[in-house]
Amino acid sequence: MIIQIYAFTKINEAVAAVNLGVDNVGFVAGVYDMVYGELSFEEGRAMAEAIPDGGTSTAITMSEDVDEILRMADAVQPNILHISSELDQVGLDKMAQIRKQLSPEIQLMKAIPVDGMHSVDIAISYSAVSDVLLLDTSRKGFPGVGATGFTHDWNVSKAIVDAVEIPVILAGGLNADNVDSAIEKVRPWGVDSNTSTNKEGSRVEKDLDRIAEFVRAIKASPYYEMEPRP
């Protein structure tokens, strides 16, 4: 099972997280004046290049402009490009365009807001233009999809995992206390944390102790060793 953590701003914390057992190291690449912990393209490239062997760099973008997204991918060269914009901002047509023009060495991940069973059909449609899906929670007042700190209906997430044929990462309010239950219910390819692994009262500083606790909780799950889909 893949363990993904967002959103790193410091290289030393990202490297330490990989050494603690984190697989996917996420960071915001691009300044959007709407989210916390943004890195410039140059800072994002430095972060991606510093990830140790065994770790995967995951660059998140909030842009809705295809050319800007592709410029970011080219400048940062992450292993995974994470599109976290709302569905009406980066829809199927734009995703297909990005997938066509993106380097084949970079995987494309789309964040899907989980909000009722209609989300299953949405996820199926986006699975045709993505390499990975990330299931997250959307709330009013939060830009894009995710980073709300709230969980969603895991029954819907489970239905999505069963319906699509690409890897699915479960996000949305996961922490060391509930991630085992989430894994048991959903059986995702990976799990993700952002807000719950920050330092108390901070939106940008990661807490390595909380990260270690999150990793331990995941690895204690009887489903941790299940074979991830290619």
Instruction: Report pTM.
Output: 0.91
- How far does CA 135 lie from the centroid of its chain? 8
Which residues of the chain carry a pLDDT beneath 70? 32-36, 138-150, 202-203, 226-230
Q: Could you report the per-residue pLDDT of 71-80, keeping only the tens digit for each?
A: 999 999 999 9
Report the alpha-carbon distance of residue 55 to residue 101 in Å, rounded.
25
Whether the CB-CB separation of 113 and 136 falls below 8 Å is answered with yes
CATH number of 2-219: 3.20.20.70
- Residue in this structure with the two tokens 């894009």, named with its chain if needed: 144
What pLDDT was estimated at residue 230?
40
Which tokens is 208 given?
A: 């390595």
Q: Could you report the per-residue pLDDT of 64-101, keeping only the tens digit for each?
A: 999 999 999 999 999 999 998 888 889 999 999 999 99
Task: Collect all residues with Cβ–Cβ distance below 8 Å to 181 and sequence separation of at least 6.
Answer: none
What pLDDT was estimated at residue 127?
97
Radius of gyration of the chain (CA): 16
What pLDDT was estimated at residue 53?
92
Whether the CB-CB separation of 171 and 179 falls below 8 Å is answered with no
SS3 71: helix
Report the alpha-carbon distance of residue 112 to residue 146 in Å, rounded.
9
Half-sphere exposure of 83 (CA within 13 A, CB side): 32
